[in-house]
């Protein structure tokens, strides 16, 4: 199963992202610091990075995951174009607004990982 690390220091957002990763058909694992990310990277296939955290530099985290040859999806504020550009330049595959993952996270994550799109039950 595809293992996705979710780097987010906000417990509620981290939990929400983990649930969406699991609904997308992958194994989600939370990490909250750069040290934890570094330790967990060898066993991961991909990483989702919350760019607006206070406990770590999101762009540094993106760069670290990309340098480890992991797929990287970054999430942040829709109106922070400069931060989004920096994340892309650091190696993120995509940078999405929080709202995009809030509205259709499992389908978006499945597509990013190349997994079958989950049924929504709607």
Q: pTM, whole model, 2 decimals?
A: 0.95
Q: On the CB side of 30, how many CA atoms lie within 13 Å of its CA?
A: 14
pLDDT in tens, 37-52: 999 999 999 999 999 9
119 band by pLDDT with thresholds 50, 70 and 90? confident
Specify the pLDDT at position 120. 64
Q: How confident is the model at residue 118 (pLDDT cuts 50, 70, 90)?
A: confident
The span from the CA of 3 to the CA of 41, in Å, is 10
Q: Which CATH number fits domain 3-113: 3.40.50.2300, 1.10.10.10, 3.40.640.10, 3.40.630.10?
A: 3.40.50.2300
Domain boundaries, the chain: 3-113
In whole angstroms, give the CA distance from residue 4 to residue 114. 13
């Amino acid at each position: 199963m595809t293992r996705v690390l979710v780097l987010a220091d906000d417990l509620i957002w981290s939990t929400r992202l983990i649930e969406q990763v699991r609904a997308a058909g992958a194994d989600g694992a939370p990490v909250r610091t750069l040290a934890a990310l570094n330790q967990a990277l060898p066993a991961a296939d991909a990483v989702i990075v919350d760019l607006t955290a206070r406990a770590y530099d999101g762009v540094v985290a993106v760069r670290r995951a990309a340098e480890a040859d992991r797929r990287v999806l970054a999430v942040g504020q829709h109106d922070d174009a400069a931060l989004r550009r920096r994340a892309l330049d650091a190696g993120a595959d995509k940078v999405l607004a929080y709202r995009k993952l809030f509205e259709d996270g499992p389908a978006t994550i499945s597509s990013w990982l190349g997994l079958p799109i989950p049924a929504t039950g709607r």
